[in-house]
């Protein structure tokens, strides 16, 4: 009885986690500007990871694998925002202007992303 | 059966992240896409570990998560500061 509940719950968690990852990847492609893409990437890094790893934790049961999965989740939740923060600072220091609302050409916002295309340093 | 479905569902997300890495106009888009791809790889390794019932895949996923973060920060430091900060020692 308990295993069917666990299986169905981890089915649900895994599928919703994969849905979050897909949404994050699609958002990564469709967003017009670097900083909005980071928002999309953040969804996948945090919620997607939580759901997928929670689904795996239910399957792992009380074992050393469960501890490792908790460690992975803990580490991912700490480092993904830090990496995104470092990326935003580096982008701003590199002269990457965020795309403001007034100069967003509404007919095809995705074609031309951030106006200041920086050549590689 | 559940892990196969999760693994198959993860593949298109990884391809989309790669598409952003290739299409990304600026270098920062590529760093972001590679960082996201790394997180997807961590989750894919964990799911594959459970699919083939080899629990030491979880250690690989943990190590990959660590290295992915270090790599992202190293690339950012290189592109933000222009070098890894070794020149100062050599100049002294």
What is the complex's ipTM, to 2 decimals?
0.83
Provide the 8-state DSSP code for A46. I
Report how far residue B27's alpha carbon sits from residue A119's, in angstroms, rounded to the nearest whole number. Answer: 9
Q: How far is B92 from chain A (nearest CA, A)?
A: 25
Question: pLDDT tens digits for A26-46?
Answer: 999 888 888 888 988 988 889
Q: Give the pLDDT band (50/70/90) at residue B18.
A: very high
pLDDT band at A118 (very low <50, low <70, confident <90, very high): very low
| Within a domain: A108 | no
Task: List the domain range (segments joined by +) for residue A71.
Answer: 7-96
Indicate yes or no: pTM above 0.90: no
| Domain residue extents for chain B | 2-81
Residues on chain A touching B12 (C-beta within 8 angstroms):
22, 25
Does residue A66 belong to any structural domain of this protein?
yes
Greater confidence (B70 vs B92) lies with: B70
How far A77 CA sits from the closest chain B CA (Å)? Answer: 11
Answer whether residue A101 is part of any domain: no
Kindly state whether residue A79 falls inside one of the protein's structural domains.
Answer: yes
CB burial of A28-62 (b: ≥16 within 10 Å; e: otherwise) equals: bbebbbbbbbbebbbbbbbbbbbbbbbbbbbbbee
- Answer whether B18 touches A (CB < 8 Å): no
Q: Inform me whether the C-beta atom of residue B57 falls under 8 Å from chain A C-beta atoms.
A: no
Q: What is the pLDDT of residues A53-66, one digit of tens each?
A: 999 999 888 889 99
Please tell me which residue, B28 or A106, carries the higher pLDDT value. B28
- Would you say residue A45 lies in a domain? yes
* pLDDT surpassing 60 at residue B14: yes
């Amino acid at each position: 009885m308990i295993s069917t509940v666990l299986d169905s719950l981890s089915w649900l968690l895994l599928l919703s986690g994969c849905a979050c990852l897909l949404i994050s990847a699609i958002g990564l492609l469709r967003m017009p500007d670097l900083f909005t893409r980071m928002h999309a990437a953040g969804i996948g890094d945090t919620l997607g990871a939580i759901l997928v790893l929670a689904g795996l934790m239910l399957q792992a049961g009380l074992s050393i694998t469960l501890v490792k999965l908790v460690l992975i989740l803990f580490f991912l939740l700490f480092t993904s925002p830090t990496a995104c923060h470092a990326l935003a600072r580096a982008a701003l220091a590199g002269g990457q202007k965020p795309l403001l609302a007034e100069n967003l050409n509404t007919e095809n916002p995705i074609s031309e992303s951030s106006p200041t295309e920086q050549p590689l340093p | 059966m559940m892990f196969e479905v999760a693994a198959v569902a993860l593949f298109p997300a990884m391809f989309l992240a790669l598409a952003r890495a290739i299409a990304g106009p600026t270098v920062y888009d590529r760093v972001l896409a590679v960082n996201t791809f790394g997180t997807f790889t961590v989750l894919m390794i964990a799911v594959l570990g459970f699919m083939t019932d080899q629990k030491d895949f979880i250690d690989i996923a943990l190590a990959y998560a660590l290295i992915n973060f270090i790599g992202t920060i190293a690339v950012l430091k290189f592109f933000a500061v222009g070098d890894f900060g070794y020149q100062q020692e050599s100049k002294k």
